[in-house]
Amino acid sequence: MKFTNGYWRIREEIDPVYAVEYYDAEIKDKELVVYAATKHMGDRGDTLNQPLLTVTFFSPMENVIKVSAVHFKGALYKGPHYEVCGQEGDFVSIKEDEEKIVFTSGHTSAVIHKAANGWKVEFVDGNRLLTESSFRNLAYMRNQNTKKNYMVEQLLLDVGEYVYGLGERYTPFVKNGQTVEIWNEDGGTASEQTYKNVPFYLTNKGYGVFVGHAGDVHFEVGSEKVERVQFSVETERLEYYILNGETPKGTVQLYTRLTGLPALPPAWSFGLWLTTSFTTSYDEETVTGFIQGMADRDIPLHTFHFDCFWMKGYEWCNFEWDKDTFPDPEGMLKRYKERGLHICVWINSYIGQKSALFDEGMANGYFVKNLDGSVWQCDRWQAGMALVDFTNPEACKWYQSKLERLIDMGVDCFKTDFGERIPVTGVQYYDGSDTVKMHNYYAYLYNKTVFELLERRMGRDKALVFARSTAAGGQKFPVHWGGDCTATYPSMAEDLRGGLSLSACGYGFWSHDIGGFEQTASADVYKRWCAFGLLSSHSRLHGSTSYRVPWLFDEEACGVLRKFVKLKCSLMPYLYAQAVKAHREGVPMMRPMFLEFPGDLTCETLDRQYMLGDSLLVAPVFKESGEVSYYLPEGIWTNYLTNEVKEGGKWYTETFDYFHLPLMVRENTVLAIGKCDDRPDYDYTEDTTLKLYGIREGAKIHMTVPYMDGQDGMTAEATAENGKIMVAVKGGKGWKVEEAVDSGREIVLG
């Protein structure tokens, strides 16, 4: 949202009130309250007839500084509010002299300057400036036409500073120059709208900013004042956090500590998922034919998903199988479980008027209501649909009880679709929540309700949802997928941009519709997407009006899918270790290049390749010609599929067939390869091969292979000295060690 007309002038309808200079301060325990005058205080009379902004500095966690800027303190500030964690300890200090006050948390400080007519707050790491707010930056804006009031902050963008994140965004990966509205919409992957809005951005300087407001936050990222990131909210109180993890990766870790670490998905979920697709015609015979077709072609399949029409049309959601199509759902699921498959079914949080649950929910007050107490309804998506009110604890239990019956039948997880079409005017929630804030936050409560049921029924290490919409903190309830993409190369690339933007917001696990959702891919696009999809954290074949089984494209597609499914299964000892790391430390499995290689200027704008964990670089192919240009950071890299060795610090342009792509292993890597290539859940510590890649003289490497419950199982220490590689392995059995590319050096096992 823009308030100015060029740099000097304000828009005619806007009445601005700026923080002009420091007036006074109070120290309350470990909290600093600063009063910012909105005009120069020449004498006592200047304190009259002028607003005063109250700016509070607080630290909930070391190297995190929360700033709260308030105009009218007595104004309503209703929830919901994002859940944030705190930290015990003595890590805050406040020092004052004649020129400034310094509020310090860990090694990060807010420096408040006292100069007349010189309002300035600098955020620094020691002597290094991170960002600052100064002349005409912190403000209270009144719109004279609409009578709406806004709190606004503008933080400095340095020369060469790039901004990332703000949720799963499909627009250019670097957000500089963009206007971004934090507002969940069902907009597909080809617009500026997105299902997953997160008011957190990260910069290549190594710090991040989280706006702690669950409502409609507007960002102008160098798009109003080109040297500033502006964020504004219609409110009397603006709260934001400066997070300084020193590096981009460190700051993502700090952000996930603040807003919640991702749960660890069960090992089986990392295998191949196949769905019915959306509006296609299917019954048990059709589904069984797909499952058997995969088995006949030796393509490992691990999860089958039933999309919307497992229920009757117009009755979403009644959570009842369509008996005309599936006359024996219990028996059917039992037969599929006997094949070793896990089962997922589609749900959403909307209850259509024809659903048998509508009257029950209405009678008990479980739906979002109009202001007159009647049920809010609309005809978008489902005729006469109502919205489950997840602020009502009894409504949550009721909703969970309907899902429990499906779990009892053998359903393992739920695809929590939709959750974006949430009204904000003329409605009320059970707990009195602010309806604008609930628009995005609704998705958080929806996924939390379903996830907590699965967690209670199946255990913490076996729960997952497959979610489309989310809000800040939603990374705690994995997995999330990219929404409605199109079966084209540009859409495949925009999906990746969205996933990398989301990972910069602490989302550890992410997926997408292999082959594209809308339309039907060419065999060429489908095969390239299979490689990309199986080299993502989670891998699902899904479409809209057509099936996604490979033999409908061509026979070669079956071979391509088979190869990459088996490849992923064999890599599970490594991949699950990276999943455990995402769960424990908040480092996403799929990472933008700048996150892993800070300081490498080339990596700062790359959005068509990524790191899959610490050691694997993936560059999907986005051209029918098979040509791909990719960049390797400094070091020695080895193509996992060909063992070709390449020198880093360079760009490469190569052409690949459908069975290959740049899957590059970083130097000084001990890569754990499993014994099994037909399933993702097995003992990763038994009969494991440790492959050594580019071990440099003097290197000291530690790696861990977990058990399927996430606990440490096998560890390996590798060192290279005097022309020898010494490897010491603890735990596990039947393992062996080999160099991927024989260097002629002796391997000594200890």
Catalytic residues: 417, 420, 484
> Residue 317: is the preceding peptide bond cis (ω within 30°)?
yes
Classified as helix, coil or strand, 69 is: strand
Structure tokens at 339: 């094949």
Strands in 183-271 per DSSP E: 197-203, 207-211, 217-221, 228-233, 237-244
Phi-psi region of 589 (alpha: psi -120 to 50; beta: other; left: phi over 0): alpha
DSSP 309: G
Residue-by-residue DSSP string for 371-439: TTSSBP-B-SSSTTBEEB-TTSHHHHHHHHHHHHHHHHHT--EEEE--------SSEE-TT---HHHHH
Structure tokens at 184: 């969940």
Contact assessment for residue 559 and residue 657, using Cβ atoms and an 8 Å cutoff:
no
Whole-angstrom distance, CA of residue 187 vs CA of residue 179: 16
> Residue 92: is the preceding peptide bond cis (ω within 30°)?
no
Burial group, residue 87, by CB count within 10 angstroms (0-12, 13-18, 19+): middle
Contact assessment for residue 434 and residue 391, using Cβ atoms and an 8 Å cutoff:
no
Contact assessment for residue 312 and residue 347, using Cβ atoms and an 8 Å cutoff:
no
Q: How far is CA 705 from CA 87, 290, 541, 678, in A?
A: 30, 34, 28, 19
Which residue type sits at 162?
Answer: Y
Classified as helix, coil or strand, 486 is: strand
